[in-house]
Amino acid sequence: MSMWNQLVTLLRGSAHEAGQSVVDKRALVILDQQIRDAQAAQGKARDDLATLTARRRLIEKDLDALTAQRGKYEASARAAMQRGDMDLAREVAERLASIESEQATKTPQIADMRGAEDRIRGIIKQSDGKIQALAREVEVVRANESVQKAQASVAASYGGTISSMGSAADSLKRIKEQQAIRDEKFRASAELEDMRTGADLDAKLRSAGLLEGSSSADDILRRLSGPQDGGEATRLPGAEPRALPRE
């Protein structure tokens, strides 16, 4: 195969592939249009069936009229023959022959038309079922397509989301560490300040009741249980009188 033929084949293959790709991407749109076209064809078939039924009913009415005429003319021919008027009887007989010929033509037409109506009605019913099944299948495919697009979107963003979450978690960990360091720095600074001013030592002395102006809970209870207004002191259970220093 020459190079030119290979290039032509490649172009044809590429065009087919591109066209197939376009068709695949727009498959649901194409199917929707095909369903609409089929429904329109079904509507035309129903209209044709209605027309055929109407014509058949008109022929049946004509046949009923011919049957009524045949009965009337048969009675007239018999009456003419009874009167001996054979010319009139022949004329009526000729009319009867025409009616019977027309009846013989229209009777099979009605049967054929009824058969055609039944066939068309069956085809319409079958086509309706196929169209409905195709429409339901298209809806299922459309729903699956929507779900898969959503899944693809989630999958595409999943990696970036996980990476972002990891970065955020690392940032949160660093912030907590920085806050913990600042808390320790504040605590250490306060301790150094207490040591510099002696506040830590004062706190220890105050807790031991050795700092002037400080009283423990027991001291307060003893004071309250001492003599009031020259009366005898009320001794609380478990509270011993505190020895006063000598002058």
The domain spans of the chain are: 26-147, 172-209
Q: What is the pLDDT of residue 239?
A: 47
For residue range 40-53, list pLDDT tens digits in order.
Answer: 998 999 999 999 99
Helix or strand holding residue 157 (H, E): helix 86-197
Residue ranges of the chain with per-residue pLDDT less than 70:
1-25, 154-169, 190-220, 227-247
Give the 3-state secondary structure of residue 10.
Answer: helix
| DSSP string across 190-233 | HHHHHHHHTHHHHHHHHHHT-STT---HHHHHHHHTS--TTSPP
For residue range 217-236, list pLDDT tens digits in order.
Answer: 666 677 777 766 554 544 54
Contact criterion met (CB below 8 Å) for 96 and 77: yes
**How far apart (Å, rounded) are the C-alpha atoms in residues 141 and 148?**
10
Residue 92 neighbours by CB distance under 10 Å: 21
Q: Which of 218, 200, 198 is nearest to 209 (CA)?
A: 218
Displacement of CA 27 from its chain's centroid (Å) = 20
Contact criterion met (CB below 8 Å) for 92 and 107: no
**How far apart (Å, rounded) are the C-alpha atoms in residues 49 and 20?**
38
